[in-house]
């Protein structure tokens, strides 16, 4: 393993922002990871674990410690009858795993097609889209304890998954480094289309009800998801400037019914109902709708940053700085709070 000095970080993120890492190393194995963590401890260096950079924003000043890029790869498929165990190393590109699973006729990840980033990051924020979450199929998560350098395996229950969160993002955010994830995917199962938007996108191109289960139906869903994500600039594309983002910058608020009714009362003058969805005993409100109604429509631009032309939740870098982006994010949060009385929560990791 080689530790490099003074490495620009912007190129390692999808939003293209950030200064220089004082030290940088690519970890191709668990042994590399342990060696790097040991080195950082001896030299009293802060450590930041970097995946695909699709949910990371580095400060303009850079990072004064050691950035560790998770580069370990490898995928194993083990047949278990009605299910297949898929074990993927943390450094595998996420969409490669989704595509490989669909090619084998395995269901459970198809609605998560096109999401950028690496496998190791998916359990941290319980990645989800169009009615699916990785928590639905994760069997276990492998990690290294940063203090003891020992390997540990967590069951699905032990990961304590929630909406866009887990123990790895909450109470144990700086304790463990995820090195691999095991999924249990069904064979010959039919995809469940839970979102009307996705159902309509599928129906526009195929007669889904008459399609075979397995690979044909899964491929139809994947193709529709990719079309939808591209239409919102949510598939990384160097030719599309609106993809210079971290995807959704804010999570959809999930509130008790009483809070939702209070928000409705504040919006009565708006003249249209607030879109919302059930989330257990709570109510989920689309954050993009709140952002636009607070005065920040798609295509809004302030200086060299702005809101995506195609998705109100994506904040886009038009050649600006991290400071400019975070200032805009703060203004949007304040505007939503003043209009609706609710604080938006940020989804990306801000590294300073």
Which one of 248, 293, 308, 333 is the catalytic residue? Answer: 248
> Would you state the structure tokens that stand for residue 304, as one six-digit string?
């060299």
Which one of 133, 142, 324, 347 is the catalytic residue? Answer: 347
Q: What are phi and psi of 260, to 5 degrees?
A: -60, -40
CA–CA separation, 159 and 39 (whole Å): 28
> Would you state the structure tokens that stand for residue 346, as one six-digit string?
């940020």
String of b and e for 173-200 (b: at least 16 CB within 10 Å)?
eeebbbbbbbbbbbbebebebebeebee
3-state SS, residue 106:
strand
* Helix, strand, coil share (%) of the chain residues, nearest 5: 30, 30, 40
Give the number of C-alpha atoms closer than 13 A to the C-alpha of residue 234, restricted to the C-beta side: 21
CA–CA separation, 224 and 67 (whole Å): 36
CA–CA separation, 19 and 351 (whole Å): 11
Which one of 34, 146, 164, 167 is the catalytic residue? Answer: 164
Q: Which helix (H) or strand (E) is 57 found in, with range?
A: strand 56-58
Max Cα–Cα distance, the chain, nearest Å: 62
Q: What are phi and psi of 278, to 5 degrees?
A: -70, 140
Q: How far is CA 317 from CA 74, 233, 245, 284, 336, in A?
A: 33, 13, 6, 28, 21
Is-catalytic flag, 164?
Answer: yes
Is-catalytic flag, 248?
Answer: yes
Which of these, 183, 155, 184, lies nearest to 83 by C-alpha position? 184
Name the packing angle between helices 215-231 and 196-203 (round to 10°): 110
Residue 345: count of CB within 10 angstroms of its CB: 14
Q: Active-site residue numbers?
A: 164, 248, 347
């Amino acid at each position: 393993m080689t530790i490099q000095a003074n490495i620009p970080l912007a190129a390692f993120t999808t939003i293209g922002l950030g200064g220089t890492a004082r030290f940088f190393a690519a970890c191709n194995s668990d042994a590399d990871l342990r060696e790097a963590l040991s080195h950082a401890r001896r030299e009293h260096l802060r450590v930041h674990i970097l995946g695909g950079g699709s949910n990371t924003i580095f400060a303009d000043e850079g990072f004064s410690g050691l950035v560790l890029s998770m580069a370990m790869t490898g995928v194993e498929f083990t047949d278990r009858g009605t299910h297949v165990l898929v074990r993927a190393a943390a450094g595998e590109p996420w969409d490669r795993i989704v595509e490989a699973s669909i090619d084998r006729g395995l269901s459970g990840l198809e609605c998560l097609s096109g999401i950028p980033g690496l496998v190791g990051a998916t359990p941290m924020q319980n990645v989800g889209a169009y009615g699916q979450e990785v928590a639905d199929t994760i069997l276990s998560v492998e990690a290294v304890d940063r203090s003891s350098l020992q390997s540990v395996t967590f069951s699905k229950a032990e990961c304590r998954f929630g909406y866009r969160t887990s123990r790895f993002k909450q109470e144990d955010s700086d304790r463990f480094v995820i090195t691999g994830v095991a999924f249990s995917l069904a064979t010959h199962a039919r995809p469940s289309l839970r979102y009307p938007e996705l159902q309509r996108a599928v129906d526009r191109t195929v007669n889904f009800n008459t399609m075979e289960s397995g690979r044909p139906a899964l491929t139809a869903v994947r193709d529709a998801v990719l079309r939808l994500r591209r239409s919102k600039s949510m598939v990384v594309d160097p030719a599309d400037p609106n993809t210079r983002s971290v995807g959704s910058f804010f999570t959809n608020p999930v509130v008790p019914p009483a809070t939702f009714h209070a928000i409705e009362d504040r919006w009565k003058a708006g003249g249209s109902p607030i879109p919302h969805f059930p989330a257990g005993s709570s109510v989920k409100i689309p954050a993009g709708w709140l952002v636009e109604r607070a005065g920040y429509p798609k295509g809004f631009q302030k200086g060299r940053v702005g809101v995506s032309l195609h998705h109100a939740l994506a904040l886009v870098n038009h050649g600006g700085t991290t400071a400019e982006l975070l200032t805009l994010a703060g203004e949007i949060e304040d505007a939503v709070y003043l209009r609706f009385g609710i604080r938006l929560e940020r989804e990306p990791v801000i590294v300073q």
